[in-house]
Amino acid sequence: MNGPFPATRSPRRLLRGAAAVLLALACLFPFAYLILLSLAKAWPFPDLLPRALSFDLWARVLTGPSDLGASFLLSCALSLVVASLSTAAGFVTGKFIAYHPARKKLLFLAYLPFIMSPVILGTCLMYLYLKLDLAGNAAGVALAQTMFAYGFAIVFFSAFWNPEIKALEDLVFTLGGSTFDAYRRVLLPVSKGMLLICFFQTFLISWFQYGLTLLIGTGKVQTLPVKVYDYVNEANLFYAAMASCLLILPPAALLWVNKRFVFNEMREG
């Protein structure tokens, strides 16, 4: 009776393996195409492959007058600042809201930035930004992006602050510990995985922001998404492909870190 089973399972395994390979190829094809397009020196229609590949264009773009390297560093700096501020503030604010009697009403306020489009909200606040001299500079863009990332962080941590966490904190106070001891010895170690995930998510919120950055930055703050759209509008496919490769590099790295460290640590915990 054991003989027929491997034979009946093998076609299914082959089908599942083939489906997995096709799915992997479908997922990787856009990235491979972008890399290939960024390295192409000439790719006329209807050729299926570029006629020549070279890294010269990468070197010229990153160090030349296009300032693509500077845009990449600017986007990294903005996203790191926004993610750090919103994660830290959302962690503390989420605790205050979670234990407040008017929790539902206060939590509703955190959703307000997401009720309307970022561009519409930025347009409504543009007069204030102009008065405060925050329009057209990186500080204003960071503040505008933090509004959305901060609201996301509050909602994200609203589920973390529960009666079990409150009981652990009260135990520290019962044993004579201070608020600093509660954060250092209990709250921060317990929430390390959640803090990292929130940091990654808010980083991506800032990293891919285009409309709000273009509006508040008035076109002067040339982040990487702004550069990508500029190249696309100019029909400059090779430059757009290079900018797109740089645009997907940090999210891919964060995805690997999430998979390699955060989720494994949370599963082991």
Number of domains in the chain: 2
Q: Which residues pair with 53 in a beta bridge?
A: 40
Q: What is the pLDDT of residue 65?
A: 64
How much is the pTM? 0.81
Q: Are 124 and 158 in contact (CB under 8 A)?
A: no
* Tens digit of each residue's pLDDT (9 = 90 or more) over 163-218: 888 898 888 888 888 888 888 888 888 888 889 889 999 999 999 998 889 899 88
DSSP string, 57-92: HHHHHHHSTT-HHHHHHHHHHHHHHHHHHHHHHHHH
Q: How far apart are CA 71 and CA 29, in angstroms?
A: 26
110 and 8 share one domain: no
State whether 124 and 242 are in the same domain: yes
Residue 238 resides in a domain: yes
List pLDDT tens digits, range 21-30.
888 888 888 7
User: Do residue 126 and residue 234 come from a single domain?
Assistant: yes
- Average the pLDDT over 46-75 and give the result: 76
Q: Are residues 120 and 251 in the same domain?
A: yes
Q: Which domain holds residue 160?
A: 67-268
pLDDT at 32 > cutoff 90: no
pLDDT digits (tens, 9 = 90+) for 132-162: 888 889 999 999 999 999 999 999 998 888 8
**Residue 128 sits in the same domain as residue 149:** yes
Residue 102 sits in a domain of what CATH number? 1.10.3720.10
- 185 lies in the same domain as 72: yes
